Structure 1
Amino acid sequence: MPGIDECLDEVMALPGARGAAVVEWISGLALGAVGASPNDDHEVTAAETAEIARLASEYAAFAHDPASPAAPFSPYADFADDAPLPPGADGDTVRIGTPVEDIIVTTRTGHHLLHFVDTPFDSGVFLHLWLDRADGNLALARLRLRDLAERLALR
């Protein structure tokens, strides 16, 4: 299982990767960062992307608890690893407790891909990849980030 540094090195091997970070989205702290940053400051970028992650996770339109359609997801809720899947879901479906799978923000020159990582502790972490629009492959990046997130060792 790769740690944060190894994970970020693998992310930067993707075609078009300009910068990457592992961010704790409730506090906005970067647990690790590599490459360039859109505003030349990895800590500010981490805080800004964490704000986007929090917003998406807290709005019921994007992330509600399927077991209780009226109740929005709370990023502070404690969900067990063996939580039941919603009705009609299969093993490939994101389990209850994961607010959003990916957030993609496209700019004129690049893509920002935020992929949420399930963690064994009471916190939320995501991988942030800044991808060059001309050289990057967004579909490949999504697949690789999902694979890395499953193998990432955050213990």
Structure 2
Amino acid sequence: MANIDSGLKEMMEIEGAIGAAVVDYGSGMALGTLSSTNSFDLNVAAAGNTEVVRAKMRTIEQLNLNEGVEDILITLSSQYHVIRPLASRKGQGLFLYLAMDRTRANLALARHRLKSIEEELEV
């Protein structure tokens, strides 16, 4: 089992990773962050992406879909941002956030790695 710090380190080992966070979308606060650059404010990203997660959860509820969100992908011109809400009961209300450089990232592999990191994460 991995704690938040080791989970963040594993996320940053994903090819192309430039920033990683574990975020509480109830409060919008990051429980932990790790970045390879100072030009990327992960606390701002955590708060902003909290709104994305809340909006999606609300929409699923309003549509009466009995579905869980596996991940949310935001594609920018030079980056991928992947949001993965934690499915476990212990991780309820949290999400993994990974920002990656598009030129170096393998999106399918990154999604697969995030899933395994989520399964190992002990919150």
Q: Same fold (TM over 0.5)?
A: yes
2:108 match: 139
1:54 match: 54
2:34 match: 34
Aligned-residue RMSD, C-alpha: 2.3
Instruction: Please show how residues 72-151 of structure 1 align to structure 2 within 5 Å.
Output: 99-121=68-90, 123-151=92-120
The Cα of 1:140 is off from its aligned counterpart by 0.3
Relative to total residues, which structure has the larger helix share, 1 or 2?
Answer: 2
Count of equivalent residues? 123
The Cα of 1:46 is off from its aligned counterpart by 0.6
The Cα of 1:43 is off from its aligned counterpart by 1.5
Cα distance, 1:33–1:151 mapped onto 2, change above 3 Å: same
Q: Percent identity?
A: 37
Structure having greater relative contact order (Cα 8 Å, sep ≥ 6): 2
Q: Point out where structure 1 has 5 or more consecutive residues left out of the alignment.
A: 67-95
Q: Point out where structure 2 has 5 or more consecutive residues left out of the alignment.
A: none
Q: Deviations over 1:79-130 (max 9, x none)?
A: xxxxxxxxxxxxxxxxx6xx41100000000100001112435841110000
Relative to total residues, which structure has the larger strand share, 1 or 2?
Answer: 2
Which secondary structure does the structure 2 equivalent of 1:50 belong to?
A: helix
Larger Rg: 1
Equivalent residues of 2:86, 2:92 under 8 A apart: no
